[in-house]
Amino acid sequence: MRENQLKRKLQQGEVVIGPFMNCAYPAFIEICGHAGFDFAIIDMEHGPLHTLVAEDLCRAADCVGLSPVIRVRKNDAPQIQRALDIGSAGVQVPQIETKADAEAVVTGAKYSPLGSRGLSFNTRAGMYTAAGTQITDKLNQESLVVIHVEGKRGVENLQEIVSVPHIDVIFLGPYDLSQSLGIPGQVRDPRVVELMEKSVTTIRNAGKAVGTFADNPEVAKQWINAGVQYIGLGVDVAIFLKACQALVEAVKN
């Protein structure tokens, strides 16, 4: 069973970067590995992807040493289980607002005695039974659990949320946070930035890694300097759009 290199990097205090993936074509995620990204977030919340596609994207990522993380649609135990069963390095769960929400994520992501994840060895995670039946402790140890705190209520309850064990990364979602503050999309507004900076301090003081989204290198570097380790850097479709726009601009103008 492969060691989770993404989890090791985070435990060692390294900064890791990876894009969100909406495209179903496996070559795109392979390219991200060749480009030097540490991970990719296969987006099943906002993207159009389904489970069979996500599983093939995990395979493609593994081929190039890229850690695939699945963002599920909601905090739902069957979705969390399926995201891990298809062999991802971890699961990313949106819209966590309370300690109970965070505990439910852990319950869905971990096998007994840490949680109640449904058990089958006939999965990609179980190497289709080739890994044997004594693997639940190893899978508990290796699976990465990322939760999104992305609204005012979640921030207000952050001190309790960070106390939940077996959560590796708390991801601050700037866009949803801006929406909850009544300024949707204004992610560089001082009110959003201040709330996120305070949250970074709270999370790091609890000994957990902080994640967030950045749509360009400058913003990514600002959050890295503020103590963020796990950077969701852009979205594949937007990265492709900007590259195309730059080509058209360079030729036509």
CB atoms within 10 A of CB 106: 20
CA of residue 17 relative to chain centroid, distance: 10
pLDDT at 133: 84
pLDDT at 1: 65
**What CATH number corresponds to the domain at position 9?**
3.20.20.60
pLDDT at 246: 97
pLDDT at 142: 96
* Sequential DSSP letters for 47-78: S---HHHHHHHHHHHHHTTPEEEEEPSSS-HH
Residues of the chain with pLDDT under 50: none
Q: Which residues pair with 213 in a beta bridge?
A: 232
Interatomic CA distance for residues 37 and 28, integer angstroms: 12
- Report how many domains make up the chain: 1
pLDDT at 40: 98
Asked whether the beta carbons of 177 and 195 are under 8 A apart, the reply is yes
Alpha helices, H only, 110-184 = 136-142, 152-156, 158-161, 174-180
Place of tokens 């005012």: 152
pLDDT at 55: 98
pLDDT at 253: 86
Asked whether the beta carbons of 65 and 30 are under 8 A apart, the reply is no
Helix (H, G, I), strand (E, B) or coil at 230: strand
Please give the residue range of the domain that contains residue 100: 5-252
DSSP-derived secondary structure letter, 45: S
pLDDT at 31: 97
Specify the long-range contacts of residues 74-81, CB closer than 8 Å, at least 24 apart. 74/45, 75/101, 75/104, 75/105, 75/108, 76/108, 77/104, 77/107, 77/108, 77/116, 77/117, 77/118, 78/108, 78/118, 79/44, 80/105, 80/108, 80/109, 80/117, 81/108, 81/109, 81/117, 81/118
